[in-house]
Every structure is written in structure tokens, then in C-alpha cells.
Amino acid sequence: MKRIAIAGSSGGNLFNLGGKDPEKLIGEIKAQCQSAGVDIGLVQFIAASESMDVAKDHTAAVLYGWNEDEQRLAKRYEGTLKDTNETAAEADAELADRIRSGGIDGLIVMSADPQGSNRQAVQAAAEAGIPVVGTGGTSMAMISSKGANVIATSGTTGTTNRTRAVSFMTSLCKYWGIKYIPVLGSAGDKSAAPAGNPLRRINLKGIMQSSLPGFIAMAIVLAISQIPALKGLSEVFDLMLKALPVVLAVVAAKQISDMDEVSIVAGVIAGVLSVNGGIIGGIIGGIGAGLLVQYLFVKCVQWKFPMTTVNIVAGGLAGLISGLIMYYLIAPFALQLGEFIKYIINQAISFNPIIAGVVAGLLIWPAIIGGVYHAAILPIVLLEMEKTGNSFLGAIDMVGLVMVSAGITLANIIAPRDRGEAAVAAPGFLINMGFGTFVEAAYPFMFSNKVVFAGAIGAAGVGGGLVGLFNVRGTAYVPSFMGPFLSNNVVGFAAAMLVALILAMLVTLVANKAWRTGRKSEQKPEIEASA
């Protein structure tokens, strides 16, 4: 196993690009080292409380070392910057000894001081000929002039913790001939996994769910714009409609490449150029940008481009290439696909809105229980909201799922089968009513009683029929009292919501009472027999 050391400081420009948080800065390097099978043997890092460009001798600072047993940063000294630099000389000598003894195979430096606190380590690295990578234009130039084997160098501008870490490890592993796949995910996140085939990271359901707040914000603006005094907000609504593809593109690009700000920039560029393709165009443009970010980033690092240039190419060109392809080739087809899906839904509703509502209501619970809701229904809801700010299926969601779940949990607060169930039901009811989500709160009661389960489906069907009768378009994922005001029919939506809640509650109350009666009749013979 190769072993590296990390030396340097929070720096001047670096301070504003991740250096002020050493835990995250080193954490990203640690994550990439683990993916490559490389060990961190020693850290000598000085973190000041402000940028080194303006820091003074009395500025507060911390000298960090490395706890090899626990594989984490550890504070070695805390005091003024002047005293910390003096104390760092001991750590510098220790690192130099480790390099000379062959205990360090590579050196990562960031905003180092090759003439001060890092002088001995840099000299030892030059003597041993070990590979050195790092950022900090001035310091890296001085390190190279001292004869160090610098294999990759760059300024700090335009870099992020993750892109620096990936660049460092790519260069070192290429030098050593070690296979390395970058890890994508937050530093320290146990769910972070090697990038591998980026196509496997495409998750349409995840893109839709993460983008949902943007659609809800748009629905709120639409509702507020209906107030006569705030009619001017209709222009804001139109602007937000155009921004939705950008939101989806950013989420998609970050999901696939997850290169922090680089992914976000690529997603924004691709999304802006994909606006004419609607939300489907935004998703496709973002996916393309994310794939290109990862490919171009790795290639540019392998070609030994400076990190600033790597980020410009990966973020700028990836978004531009994907966006231009969308703008000139794919956007019209993506827009037509979305329009076709909405056309089919509208035709079904136009044929018989009541039947459409009843069918949608009856199927909504089996869909969410079977895992189909987020994969199929939610995308359609968002497609509907793309043009009007609310949705037929969104109204079915609020009425058939949220209100029915609220009714079931409310019944178990009023008259539960046993006292313990009331404590379980109360949080679910409050979340359903207060946030328009967490319909899963009804699952324990539905799955333990077939009557409650049938009542939930029946109440959703009746509520859905009312949604069709009143031709309601609305949304879930908002507080229940706001739901009607975000719809196209305040009275009709409120009526459908109330009926579904009351019906589900009454069925559950009857089922609970029948259960308690049956339980008492079973216990009575046992009491008489014991007497």
C-alpha cells in the first residue's frame, strides 16, 4: 500500500475555496485515498481563522496532525499564527524524517510555505524523489525550483475540495500505475461510492423528487398571483416556468457527476440551453452535462492540465456541449413528448372526469404501496404542473393519499384499538395536515386491518370522483390548509379533501370498534371459565 502525506495551510485564496474547513478539505482527500487503496500517513496542516492574505502574527490558528489509528485529523496545537508556525517546525521535521526513511511515497501540498513551516519536508521530498502534487501557484513554483518531483501543479482559483482531491489522486495513481476510480458523494458519507459507470447513477425518480420544491414554489407564486393586488406576480410565474428545466438539469448533472460547483455550473448552462425542451429537455440536458463533466474532468487531469483549466473545461464545455445538442437537435422532440403525455391525460379526463377521478383514486394507494407512484405518477404530476402550476393527479394525491392517511390516523387518535396506537398515530396526523406528506403513517393501521385498508381505497376513490366532478387541479406536499388556495377550485378541492378525510376516519372508527367488541367477546369466556 502506498502512503502519502499532506502538508500546507488554509492559504489565501484557498481559504475561501474550502481551506477554512480542514475537516471537509482533508475529508475529501481521505475519501479518494480509500478508493485508491492509498493510506494517509501524516498530516501537517495550519488552519488560520482568516485568509493568509490578511492574517497577522496574532491571528488565531490551529496546527492539525493525523491520528493514524482513528484515521482522522487531530489538533496538535492552538494559538496565535506566529506561535503555530513555530510549533509546526517540529511537525515539519517529523515529516522530513518519515520521507527520508521511506515511510512516505507521495506528498500533497496545498498553499504550503517551502521556505518556512514546510521547508524541511519539501527538501526531503526533493532528495527522495517522491512525487509531489498540489495547488497554490506561488508555493508550487518555489517547490518545483527546489528540485522536487512535481508531477501535477495548479493554482487554486476555480477549484473545489472534491475536484482538487480527485486531481491529486488521479495524478499520483497514474504515476504509480495504480487503478483508481473517483468516489462521488459527500466526504465522510458512508453511502459514497466509486463513480464507476456514470450511466448507473442516472435515477429519474431521484431527479424528480429533488426538484419538487421548485414546482411547489411555482404553485405558491401562481396562487398568490390570483390576488387582485398581486396580479403582477403572473410575470414571476412565467419566469419560474422557464426556470424549471434549469432546476432539473442542475439536479441531474450533480446527481451523475457530483463534482460540487463544477457539476452545478455545467447543469445551469445545459439547463438554460434546454429550456425549449421543457422539463424532459432539462432532464436530458442535465444528464448529458453530468456525463460529460466526469469524462472531461478525468481526461483533462490525465493530460496534466492545471486544475483551474480542468474545472473550466469540465464545467463550462460539458454544459455547453450538452446544451447545444439539446438546443439544436433534441429540444423540439423532448417538448413534444411531454405535450403528448399531457394530451393523453387530458383526453382521459375530458372523456369522463368523474370516472377518471374515481379510477385514479382507487389506484393511488396500490401505486404507492407497490412503488409505482414515484416512478410513474410523480413525473406526470410534474409534467402537468409545468404549464399550469397545478395538476389533476396532484389533486388526487392530496385527496386520495394525504387526506385519507390523515383520516385514518385521526380515527386512531380519537378511538384507537389500544392506547399505544394513539401515540403512533398522532405524529403522522400532524405531518399529514401540516406538511401534506408522510402518507406512510397510515400503513400500520391499514396492513393490520383489512376493513381499514378497503376503507382507504374506497375513500380515495370517492375523493377522486369529487376531484373529477369539480374539475380540480391542485398539488400535495404543502400544508393541507394551503392546498385549496393553490388549486383552480378552492371550494371544490376543500370539499373533496374533507369528504375523503371524514370517510376514511369513519370507516376506521367502525373497524376499531368492531375489533374492540370482538376482543371483549373473546375475553369473556376466559373470565367465566377461570371463575
The rounded Cα 465 to chain-centroid distance in angstroms is 36
Q: Where are the beta strands (DSSP E) in 68-128?
A: 72-80, 106-110
Residues 373 and 499 in one domain: yes
CA-based angle 307:309:313, to the nearest 5? 120
Q: What is the pLDDT of residues 213-222, one digit of tens each?
A: 888 887 788 7
The rounded Cα 59 to chain-centroid distance in angstroms is 36
Per-residue pLDDT, 310: 83
**Is 346 within a domain?**
no
Residues 309 and 376 in one domain: no
| Least confident stretch, 90-99, 234-243, 375-384 | 375-384
Residues 171 and 301 in one domain: no
Residues 500 and 381 in one domain: yes
Q: Using DSSP bridges, classify how beta strands 149-154 and 60-67 pair: parallel, antiparallel or unpaired.
A: unpaired
Which residue has better confidence, 465 or 337? 465
Type of residue at 7: A
**Domain limit, last residue, from 306, 340, 374:** 340
Confidence of residue 191 (pLDDT cuts 50, 70, 90): very low
Q: State the number of CA atoms in the 13 A half-sphere of 101 facing the CB.
A: 9
Q: Using DSSP bridges, classify how beta strands 72-80 and 60-67 pair: parallel, antiparallel or unpaired.
A: antiparallel
What single DSSP character describes residue 480? T
Average pLDDT over the chain, rounded to an integer: 87
Task: Please report where in the chains the cell 412565467 appears, as a residue.
Answer: 238
> pLDDT at residue 521 above 80?
no
User: In this prediction, what percent of the chain has a pLDDT beyond 90?
Assistant: 47
**Domain limit, last residue, from 194, 212, 227:** 194
Residues 275 and 322 in one domain: yes
Domain harbouring 144, CATH code: 3.40.50.2300
- Which residue(s) pair with 60 in the sheet? 80
Confidence of residue 80 (pLDDT cuts 50, 70, 90): very high
Per-residue pLDDT, 193: 45
Q: Cβ(42)–Cβ(104) under 8 Å?
A: yes
**Is 215 within a domain?**
yes
Task: Copy the grid coordinates of residue 529.
Answer: 371459565
Per-residue pLDDT, 249: 94
Task: Over range 374-402, report the average pLDDT.
Answer: 82
> pLDDT at residue 189 above 50?
no
> pLDDT at residue 528 above 70?
no
- Which residue(s) pair with 391 in the sheet? 474
- With the C-alpha atoms ordered 413, 415, 421, 423, is the resulting torsion angle positive or negative? positive
Per-residue pLDDT, 167: 87
Which residue has better confidence, 386 or 487? 487
> pLDDT at residue 250 above 90?
yes
Residues 35 and 110 in one domain: yes
Per-residue pLDDT, 157: 76
State pTM to two decimals.
Answer: 0.72
> pLDDT at residue 336 above 90?
no
Type of residue at 361: G
**Is 273 within a domain?**
yes
**Is 527 within a domain?**
no
**Is 347 within a domain?**
no
**Is 144 within a domain?**
yes
Q: Cβ(510)–Cβ(466) under 8 Å?
A: no
Residues 180 and 255 in one domain: no
Per-residue pLDDT, 187: 45
> pLDDT at residue 188 above 50?
no
Per-residue pLDDT, 190: 43
Task: Copy the grid coordinates of residue 159.
Answer: 477549484
Q: Using DSSP bridges, classify how beta strands 183-184 and 193-194 pair: parallel, antiparallel or unpaired.
A: antiparallel
Structural domain span for residue 426: 352-522
Q: Cβ(132)–Cβ(125) under 8 Å?
A: yes
Confidence of residue 197 (pLDDT cuts 50, 70, 90): low
Long-range contacts of 260-264 (CB under 8 A, 24+ apart): 260/160, 260/161, 260/162, 260/163, 261/160, 261/315, 262/160, 262/163, 262/293, 262/297, 262/311, 262/314, 262/315, 263/289, 263/290, 263/293, 263/315
Per-residue pLDDT, 453: 95
Residues 123 and 256 in one domain: no
Q: State the number of CA atoms in the 13 A half-sphere of 290 facing the CB.
A: 28
> pLDDT at residue 192 above 60?
no
Residues 9 and 156 in one domain: yes
> pLDDT at residue 91 above 80?
yes
Per-residue pLDDT, 207: 86
User: In this prediction, what percent of the chain has a pLDDT beyond 70?
Assistant: 95
Q: What is the pLDDT of residues 255-313, one digit of tens each?
A: 888 777 888 999 999 999 999 998 889 999 999 999 999 888 888 877 878 777 888 88
Task: Copy the grid coordinates of residue 218.
Answer: 411555482
**Is 345 within a domain?**
no
Task: Please state the domain count of the chain.
Answer: 3
**Is 401 within a domain?**
yes
Residues 516 and 369 in one domain: yes
Closest CA to 87 of 46, 139, 56: 46
Residue 524: in which H helix or E strand, if any?
Answer: helix 490-530
Residues 356 and 492 in one domain: yes
Task: Over range 337-350, report the average pLDDT.
Answer: 78
Per-residue pLDDT, 405: 95
> pLDDT at residue 139 above 60?
yes
**Domain limit, last residue, from 194, 211, 236:** 194
Residues 41 and 183 in one domain: yes
